[in-house]
Amino acid sequence: MTVRKKILITGASSGLGEGMARQFAARGRDLALCARRTGRLDALAAELRSAHGVTVLTSALDVNDHDRVFEVFKEFREEFGTLDRIIVNAGLGKGQPIGTGRFDANKQTLETNFVAALAQAEAAMEIFRDQRAGHLVFVSSFSALRGLPKNLTAYAASKAGLSALADGIRADVAGKPIKVTTLLPGYIESEMSARSEGRNPLQTGAEAGARAMVKAIEREPAKAFVPTFPWLPLSVIMRVAPLPVLRKFA
């Protein structure tokens, strides 16, 4: 297994991004963390430096500012000399049923989860192609497997697009020392899930979920459902489930 020592994570100030940062720092990895909320980001960086003795760089970044994405990734690489792994994690969970007058929310979800992810992928792959090595990770979602109703329609579509983007890049660099991983998390506790009504019985705690994600990333597979159970077995059902069953996932 290749040890990726210098890791960039977007959307790292909270949720899954923060959880992964904690897990990687505990493993002694140096980190480049970016997010919109720099107060929380800088506090996390200081905590990780103190607790684990690792180098942690930070930068303010709204991934919808596409030019800034390229600038920040380049700056991190210049400071570290190399970037071994880039995790495209920043995302948005907004969404309303299609045709209910909330085009704004659905558009924002697709722009953040897909178009901004493309900008991150472009910036990352420019670096990896130049280095002739690297590991690009996309945090997609279990919901990418099927179109989903209600508030998840735009979100699921954005994540399906993200998974397809990852597949295309993976095919493009097949046989080269650049790896591409698609993570498909199930329900993991986060700020996004906290906004949902009630707690899903299949939901995994934040720390356990982040631990599962990092364990999967370290294996560098093409795709991984996290946590493996129950989401890998459920993926088989998800692909063939009739429409009434899909409503239970929304």
Which are the catalytic amino acids? 155
From CA 162, how far away is CA 156, in angstroms rounded?
Answer: 10
From CA 148, how far away is CA 146, in angstroms rounded?
Answer: 6
From CA 31, how far away is CA 28, in angstroms rounded?
Answer: 9
How far from chain centre, in Å, is Cα 178? Answer: 18
> How far from 144 is each of 15, 61, 115, 211, CA to CA, in Å?
19, 25, 16, 21
Question: What are the b/e assignments for 144-158, b being 16+ CB within 10 Å?
Answer: bbbebeebbbbbbbb
Instruction: State how beta strands 134-139 and 178-185 pair.
Output: parallel
Residue whose C-alpha is closest to residue 193's, from 183, 202, 184: 202
From CA 53, how far away is CA 64, in angstroms rounded?
Answer: 32
Please list the residues that pair with 7 across neighbouring strands: 31, 85
Longest dimension (CA), the chain: 52
Handedness of CA 18, 24, 26, 28 (dihedral sign): negative
Query: Are 155 and 109 in contact, with CB atoms under 8 Å apart?
Result: yes
